Amino acid sequence: MHLFKTLLAAAVLIRSTNAAPFELKGETGWHGPGLYQIVNRSGGTAVDLVNGETEVGTPIYGRTLNYTDVQQIWLIARLKEGEYAFVNHASPTAIGATGAAKPVVAKAYKFTDLSIRWNMTLLADGYVIFESLMYPGNVLDLSYGSSKDMTPITSYPRHGQPSQQWRLDHWNPPDSELLDLPINVEL
């Protein structure tokens, strides 16, 4: 029953048809599960689905931060203690690792898929580092810390530099915009 309650609490997705009702809370840092833009410390770019694509396999890149771009808004869902998935606002896909030192892509949200699970390390200044559960020691990394649009985001061996540090910009959707996220639960 505890697992079921955790799944229900984590399984929320926001309607992607209209971003207008969203408000940036003006809070940065970790405030618990919810909606965030994930912004790289080095490049200043946000985690984004490339070219607005929403299909499984879509590359995930760093793009210029845009507070009205729904592909840059992610539900950070707590799957269990210390484990999180990042589900995109525009599609029921999650950030998934494809290997050590390889690009991350949009993957189908499956609770049992280790490639979409990440640990979070909170840094003293409010930034975070996300480590892959499937590829331990590999973390979410903006390639070369570049500020150029379409810079690949990878699962890369941890070195702790700014290209692996992320700021979380917290969003506040109205309750009327919350929808259930269909999930594939394999118990």
| pLDDT of 25 over the 60 cut | yes
Choose the weakest-confidence range: 98-107, 139-148, 178-187. 178-187
Give the whole-angstrom CA distance, residue 16 versus residue 177: 9
Phi, psi of 155 (to 5 degrees): -100, 110
Amino acid identity at 90: A
Over residues 59-77, the mean pLDDT reads 93
Query: What domains are there in the chain, each with its CATH number?
Result: 2-15+23-175 (2.80.10.50)
What is the residue-averaged pLDDT of the chain? 84
Over residues 51-73, the mean pLDDT reads 91
Residue 144 in tokens: 């070369």
Structure pTM?
A: 0.81
DSSP string, 117-146: -EEEEE-TTS-EEEEESSSTTEEEEEGGG-
Q: What is the pLDDT of residue 171?
A: 87
Confidence class of residue 186 from pLDDT cuts 50, 70 and 90?
Answer: very low
